[in-house]
Amino acid sequence: MKGKDVLKVDVSYRDSSLTSRIAELTVSYAELPGKTPQNDEYSTLVTARQQIRCRVVRGLSAAAESVGRLDRSSAIELLRSTVDDLRSIHDAVMDDFGEESRLDLTEWLDAAVANVEHCQRFVGDLAVRWDDAWGRLKALESSVSREVPTSAAVYVSGSELFQAPSTMKERLVEVSSMLKDMYVGHGLETDVLEQYQNVVEELEEKLIDEQQSMTVYRPSQPLL
């Protein structure tokens, strides 16, 4: 294996101007870290987190299919079994971890369980239309499967598996206000600053719309 490449990753993404781009990363054998107890534990932690994430995705996908067939009971049972499997994944590795890794994985599990159990509740609520329940399941599945932040309404508050960096927006507003004060203090117009802020806000809305459009399609069924 020495002198050979062991991993190649190609990532497609959109930059700040929504232009499609591809990033490539190749890892050679020589770049792999040596085997130590510390990175063994970290590798196990990352693997367990990914197992939980993938199990959430499979459970949400299967539940959405059942909801699409108007079978809410089956969907609820699938989500319940998902929670059981998530706890099993967590419990199977806890004895191998130190305190920090235990806390990390437990917080990840709690967030995953909170969202899946929330799905159980709204799927079982007949006041929630079947197509609305299907859309919520697919929106959550999309975010978890692609490991990207999404709109706040998709996750249970405080249990976001992939949280949007709201602090960036807060910082933008703070810096913009500071610059406006400086401009006014020097007798300058602030129109350009306001235009820049509007452009950023419009871009943020476009990103949200694009993400939501990934789950717009809904199966054709009669409304209940």
Domain boundaries, the chain: 1-32, 37-163, 166-210
Average pLDDT for the chain: 82
Is the distance from CB of 147 to CB of 162 less than 8 angstroms? Answer: yes
DSSP H helices in 70-219: 72-93, 99-124, 130-146, 166-185, 191-213
Q: In degrees, to the nearest 5, what angle opens at C-alpha 200 toward C-alphas 190 and 148?
A: 155
Question: CB-based contacts of 114: which residues, under 8 Å, 6+ apart?
Answer: 156, 158, 159
pLDDT in tens, 33-67: 776 666 788 889 999 999 999 999 999 999 999 99
> Which residue type occupies 120?
Q
Q: Tell me if the pTM is above 0.75.
A: no
Looking at the chain, the whole-number percentage of residues with pLDDT higher than 90 is 42
Q: Is the pLDDT of residue 103 over 80?
A: yes
Helix, coil or strand: residue 45 = helix
Residue range 165-174: mean pLDDT, rounded = 62
At residue 216, the pLDDT reads 43
Question: Which of 169, 147, 166, 150 has its CA nearest to residue 208?
Answer: 150
pLDDT for res 77 = 97
> Lowest-confidence range among 97-101, 127-131, 213-217?
213-217
